[in-house]
């Protein structure tokens, strides 16, 4: 199945529907059922102790699955997260971007499931792991 949207188009769409956060993200890699999404870590993502906040990592994982679903099925801005399970395993480094490596494990008619490993850029071990389910609205 070919990608329905390319990286530039995805980021443009994100800018349109989620203008508050679109600038936080960059696409490092995009291919069939897979995306690497970067969180450009800035002051507002940090917590005391110089680490990236949990909600920022949640947002990164959530956005990665959203974007690969979108890339596969096209502009369905109404796809919504129904479930997320996330494990925080190590403390991210505050002065490095985070990279979410996401693969879509299922892309069904009504549900999509993706999993995500988040790493500090350049690090081998993951700081967090997440899996998310998206509900896909019926096509008009």
**d(Cα 128, Cα 115) in Å, to the nearest integer?**
11
Answer yes or no whether residue 75 interacts with its own copies by CB under 8 A. no
Q: Please identify, using beta-carbon distances, which residue of 4 and 81 lies nearer to its own copies.
A: 81
CA atoms within 13 A on the CB side of 88: 10
Least gap, CB of 52 to its own copies (angstroms): 12
Residue 126 in contact with its own copies, rule: CB under 8 A: yes
Residue 11 CA: distances (Å) to CA of 6, 22, 83, 138: 9, 7, 24, 24
23 touches its own copies (CB under 8 A) = no
The span from the CA of 63 to the CA of 22, in Å, is 10
Chain residues binding its own copies by CB under 8 A are 17-18, 20, 44, 47-48, 53-56, 58-59, 62, 80-90, 105-106, 108, 110-111, 113, 115, 117, 125-126, 129, 131, 133, 135
């Amino acid at each position: 199945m070919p990608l329905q949207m390319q990286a530039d188009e995805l980021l443009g769409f994100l800018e349109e529907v989620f203008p508050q956060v679109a600038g936080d993200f960059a696409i490092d890699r995009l291919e069939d059922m897979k995306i690497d999404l970067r969180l450009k870590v800035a002051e507002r993502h940090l917590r005391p102790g110089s680490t990236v906040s949990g909600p920022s990592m949640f947002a990164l994982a959530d956005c990665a699955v959203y974007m690969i679903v979108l890339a596969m099925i096209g502009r369905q801005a109404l796809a919504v997260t129904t479930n997320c399970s996330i494990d925080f395993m190590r403390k991210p480094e505050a002065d490095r971007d985070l990279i979410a490596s996401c693969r879509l494990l299922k892309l069904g008619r009504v549900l999509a499931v993706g999993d995500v490993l988040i790493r500090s850029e350049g690090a081998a071990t993951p700081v967090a792991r997440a899996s998310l389910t998206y509900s896909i609205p019926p096509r008009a």
